[in-house]
Amino acid sequence: MSWLTQTLTSSIGKKVLMSLTGLFLCLFLVVHLIGNLQLFKDDGGYAFNTYAVTMTTFTPVKIISYLNYFFILFHAFWGIYLEVRNRKARNVKYNLIRNQSTWSSRNMALLGTILLVYIVVHMGDFWYKFHNEPLPYVQYTEMLSTGEVFSQVMPAGYTQDVKQVEFVNSDEGTRTVIVKDLYQTVSVAFQNFLLSFFYLLGMVAVGFHLYHGFQSAFQTLGINHPKYSPFIKAVGIWVFAFIIPAAFAAMPLYFYFKQF
Amino acid sequence: MNLTLKVWRQKNSQSEGYFETHQLTGISPDMSFLEMFDVLNEKLVEENKEPVAFDHDCREGICGMCSMYINGRPHGPLEGVTTCQLHMRSFSDGDTIVVEPWRATAFPVIKDLVVERSSFDRIIAAGGFVSVNTGNAQDANNIPIPKDDADDAFAAAACIGCGACVAACKNASAMLFVSAKVSQLALLPQGQAERTIRAEKMVAQMDEEGFGSCTNTGACSAECPKEISLENIARLNREYLGAKLSSKSV
């Protein structure tokens, strides 16, 4: 075994792989949230739909997204493997346990499994449909002078070869964009109570997972310092366990209550 | 005090264990937990029964021999206290107390409440030492050591190797123990000669013994009778990763 595989397969190395992939996924969550906040823009989905095209066509973003899918799968299955291994380290269970640790920290594998199921459903709902299903198209006309945007749903059966058709009419001073209406797909999907509720549960799981996970990742990398650790813990709890899941959870809630 | 004691009985490492219930009457609240077991054992001997085997030695909280998992917690309900320093006044009259041995694959039960902890000895033998020149002793204070480092090394050296960290950890991980033993030497000038090889070898031995890996739950430090800090585990991670990156052993 080379020194590198020896390092990465040691108990500490295995954890470092969990830590690094986990931190990457935390970073992804921030970017994903910033992009998705465009769902709250009252522009008929113009910003969100064109953003969706950029994210699925711009090559560097595509490379990072496939890396991201790989890290999600790696983090999930490596985590399950570690959990199985760790359980073997106690072959006879205790009769009575009063553990002095947080519930999150003891249930990372359970929370992670919930999140894996959530991610599969989530990607099936939107990612798969966006890539593989004939979603309706929408045409946006932007007045270049005022910045006003008018949207118009394309007739049923309309399709185009590229993800985004764009042309500028300099006589009329307008820019026209035709894209798949993912915004509409999202808003219709979240009108379903069960799906919205499932998404809320998913976000609760993210919150609890990161309540322990974020700060734990730094500890695994050996970062524990009286100056920085309180800051890392605060960011883990407030930003990653509370604000980010709450902001994501606001999306299904927004569309669910908008229908009434 | 009158107590109901549910205690783990197991003839040897091969046999199946079971819980045995004993009623104890007239226990003094000033007795230590181990003295309460002495009373139980005297009673068992008088009844011509096998006394409960348990580990103990100094009974003053410094040897690390006593090891009882009391009511779901290693060394019982108090913080920073070993089983021998736990007194019956920490319990109430009429309580039921459940006593189990440490549970870890790397700590097999030998008999009743006694577990085999030589896996810790093998980890120490793998690298938990310093090379010292023979000859005259050096002048005291000849090597300057920053006060902070001396304090941290001393706090780590307080580890008595009882194994409560392993017993408390949901993964039966020995990271707190190993990290304390690596830290106490890595922080001092005397420990520099074997610094990288120590971290590498002690972790390798720890993995070989079948302990689980650390998931940073912090249960170990919360239960440690010597209150060893989690900072040591972060330091061990740094020492190990640094050693792997810098050492010349390929």
For the stretch A164-220, pLDDT in tens is 999 999 898 999 999 999 999 999 999 999 999 999 999 999 999 999 999 999 999
Is residue A122, in this structure, part of any structural domain at all?
yes
Q: Is the pLDDT of residue B249 over 80?
A: no
**Where residue B36 falls among pLDDT bands split at 50, 70, 90?**
very high
**Where residue B247 falls among pLDDT bands split at 50, 70, 90?**
confident
Mean pLDDT on B121-141? 89
**Where residue B132 falls among pLDDT bands split at 50, 70, 90?**
confident
pLDDT at A215: 97
pLDDT digits (tens, 9 = 90+) for B53-88: 999 999 999 999 999 999 999 999 999 999 999 999
> Do residues A53 and A168 share a domain?
no
> Do residues A82 and A58 share a domain?
yes
Total domain count, chain A: 2
Q: Which tokens is A117 given? A: 């199921």
> Do residues A129 and A235 share a domain?
yes
Q: Distance (Å) from the C-alpha of residue B43 to the closest C-alpha of chain A? A: 25
pLDDT at B47: 96
Is residue A51, in this structure, part of any structural domain at all?
yes
Is residue A185, in this structure, part of any structural domain at all?
no
Longest dimension (CA), chain A: 81
Q: Is the pLDDT of residue B26 over 80?
A: yes
* Strand arrangement of the beta sheet that strand B69-70 belongs to: B18-24, B3-9, B96-100, B69-70, B73-74
CB-CB neighbors (< 8 A) of A97 in chain B: 72
Report H helices in chain A.
Answer: 3-9, 11-36, 46-57, 59-88, 103-106, 108-122, 128-132, 182-189, 193-220, 229-234, 244-258
Q: Which tokens is A241 given? A: 């366990």
pLDDT at A156: 87
> Do residues A164 and A248 share a domain?
no
> Do residues A30 and A143 share a domain?
no
Q: 10 Å Cβ neighbour count for B139? A: 7
Given CATH 3.10.20.30, say whether it is the number of domain B3-110.
Answer: yes
**Beta carbon pairs, A and B, within 8 Å:** 137
When CB atoms are compared, the residue of B72, B203, B231 closest to A94 is B72
Is residue A160, in this structure, part of any structural domain at all?
yes
Domain extent, residue A66, equals: 3-92+101-133+190-258
> Do residues A212 and A119 share a domain?
yes
> Do residues A33 and A82 share a domain?
yes
* Interface TM-score (ipTM) > 0.90: yes
* Segments making up each domain of chain B, as ranges: 3-110, 118-246
Q: Is the pLDDT of residue B250 over 80?
A: no
pLDDT digits (tens, 9 = 90+) for B184-229: 999 999 999 999 999 999 999 999 999 999 999 999 999 999 999 9
pLDDT digits (tens, 9 = 90+) for B79-118: 999 999 999 999 999 999 999 999 999 999 999 999 999 9
> Do residues A172 and A195 share a domain?
no
Picking from A145, A180, A215, the residue at the C-terminal end of a domain is A180
pLDDT at A225: 94
Mean pLDDT on B109-131? 96
CATH code for residues B118-246: 1.10.1060.10
CB-CB neighbors (< 8 A) of A11 in chain B: 173, 175, 203, 206-207, 211-214
Question: What stretches in chain A show pLDDT beneath 50?
Answer: none
Q: Distance (Å) from the C-alpha of residue B131 to the closest C-alpha of chain A? A: 25
Distance (Å) of CA B206 to CA B73, B125, B128, B234? 23, 11, 12, 16
Is residue A225, in this structure, part of any structural domain at all?
yes
pLDDT digits (tens, 9 = 90+) for A239-257: 999 999 999 999 999 999 9
> Do residues A25 and A88 share a domain?
yes
Q: What is d(CA A76, CA A54) in angstroms, rounded to the nearest whole number?
A: 28
Does residue B173 or residue A130 have the better pLDDT?
B173
When CB atoms are compared, the residue of B204, B218, B249 closest to A10 is B204
Picking from A146, A162, A180, the residue at the C-terminal end of a domain is A180
pLDDT at B44: 97
